Amino acid sequence: MLPPGKMQAGLLLPSLIITFAMIMKEREEISVREPFDVIVVGAGAAGMMAAGTAARNGLRVLLLEKMEKSGRKVRITGKGRCNVTNARPPEEFAEQVRANADFFSTAFAEFNNKATIRFFERQGVKLDIERGERVFPKSGKAWDIANALLEYCVDNGVKIVYNTQVTEVLAIGGKVYGVKYRNKRGFERKEECSRVIVTTGGASYPATGSTGDGYGFAADLGHAIEPLRPSLTPLVSSHPQMKNLHGLLLRNVRATLSIDGEAVREEFGEIGFSERGIEGAVALRLSRDAVDALIDGRSVKLAIDMKPALTEEMLRDRIRREVAEMAPEEFFAELLRKLVPKPMVVPLAEEIDVHSRSYIRKVGEQEFERLVKVLKGMVFPIKDYAPFEYAVVTAGGVRCDEVNRYTMESLKVKGLYFAGEVLDIDANTGGYNLQIAFSTGRLAGMLKQ
């Protein structure tokens, strides 16, 4: 039998040999592999498009994603259906871009909405064009779009590493030389590379990984950041009927946004009400101007015309006809039910100060006139807006006049590129924002060997 000391040494020796072998193997893997030509930070729509494009052009690409899977935000966009792009002609498309449309026009000319449609169809995703020229996957599944982007990267040889958070983009002498990152075990590491594409998204839907990291990278390297605020976000109203409207969806309405008493914008379509506030496509499109005005401390109101196809006189005539056909003992609510969805009946009655169960014969001309005015413009004072957690996109970001519009490369730091929501470009709802990600991501990925 071996003495205790020798027995312990005998047990320790194999363990030390294994540990040493693991360390040497790790060093060998790091030292013998070829360096990457480009590192892409963030595996969202812009990041996967950039990474796949660069790899397809023959570059060795490393794509780092801090979440456990790619395309987290893409997978939930469009209520899980993913409004991929919008098929409108270029001049109409440009009208929907709210910030830096001229800057974006270069990237759009290189890879436009038609190119996006061809790209996904070649990736095996069948698409449909729906009302408003909005483009969706025929399957109705956003996952198909996210998976197509992932396959584009994998098929072209992109090295993807998940659960890895970049903490700093490294630069010296005005040139990028790599990134620092924290791996899934929490260890800090460094990867050297002369080109880095930042596609970290904005600050909206932070649960998907969009927590504004890219703005910090850009600012640390000398870039100016336009103030960040939620865009395409629900509007919070102080109207006393809001609590009674949760779950209501009004279709084919016209909404007018007024700032300091002056009408500034009008939209037609759907408006919804929820615990988050006033939402739906119409309210989201109006929110961009409303948010900016609220930040500036200005008065904001939203007027909803529930009968946009009728003039006030036409509406009066219709109400007279409906009343004439009703029995005197019928309730006022029965008239309202002929004019608005059922959930709107009680809030509308309270708005014009007539009990919904009042007999129709007891309702006077003054009350009917108030009904006409409210139907043609129920006013909701807007006191606030929903936070980034509920915003579709982020307004603000890296200033576009500090980025080369033809390459997406920084004008301040050589080898640093930006694409997607991290840039100060945002647009209305309807597929436009994803197209911004695809166009700028594609352009950023068009790198030379």
pLDDT tens, 397-440? 999 999 999 999 999 999 999 999 999 999 999 999 999 999 99
pLDDT tens digits, one per residue of 351-362: 999 999 999 999
Residue bearing tokens 């910090």:
216
DSSP 378-424: EEEEEEEE--GGG-SEEEEEE-GGGB-TTT-BBSSSBTEEE-GGGBS
- pLDDT, tens only, 175-191: 999 999 999 999 999 99
CA distance readout (Å), 288 to 29, 204, 284? 50, 14, 7
Give the tokens for residue 3. 């003495």
End-to-end CA distance of the chain: 65
Q: What is the mean pLDDT of the chain?
A: 92
pLDDT score, position 58: 97
CA atoms within 13 A on the CB side of 191: 26
What does the pLDDT average to over 17-24? Answer: 41
Instruction: Encode burial over 411-434: b for 16+ CB neighbours within 10 A, e otherwise.
Output: eebebbbbbbbbbbbbbbbbbbbb
70 Cβ contact partners less than 8 Å away, ≥ 6 residues apart? 43, 44, 47, 48, 63, 146, 149, 150, 153, 160, 162
Q: What is the mean pLDDT of residues 50-68?
A: 98
DSSP states of 149-214 as a string? HHHHHHHTT-EEE-S-EEEEEEEETTEEEEEEEE-TTS-EEEEE-S-EEE----SSSGGGT-SSHH
Q: What number is the average pLDDT over the span 232-252?
A: 96
pLDDT reported for residue 33: 59
- pLDDT at 15 (0 to 100): 43
Least confident of 2-16, 83-97, 197-211, 212-226: 2-16
The whole-number pLDDT of residue 207 equals 87
Does residue 31 carry a pLDDT above 60? Answer: no
Using pLDDT thresholds of 50, 70 and 90, give the confidence band for residue 209. Answer: confident
Residue 192, both tokens: 């050297």
Least confidently predicted of 21-35, 230-244, 324-338: 21-35
Q: Is the pLDDT of residue 6 over 60?
A: no
pLDDT band at 22 (very low <50, low <70, confident <90, very high): very low
pLDDT at 13 over 80: no
Determine the average pLDDT of the residues in 89-116. Answer: 97
Strand partners, 266: 256
Q: For 290-323, how does the pLDDT look when each residue is reduced to its tens digit (9 = 90+)?
A: 999 999 999 999 999 999 999 999 999 999 999 9
What's residue 7's pLDDT? Answer: 42
Which tokens go with 364?
């006077």
pLDDT interval class at 448 (50, 70, 90):
confident
Q: How confident is the model at residue 149 (pLDDT cuts 50, 70, 90)?
A: very high
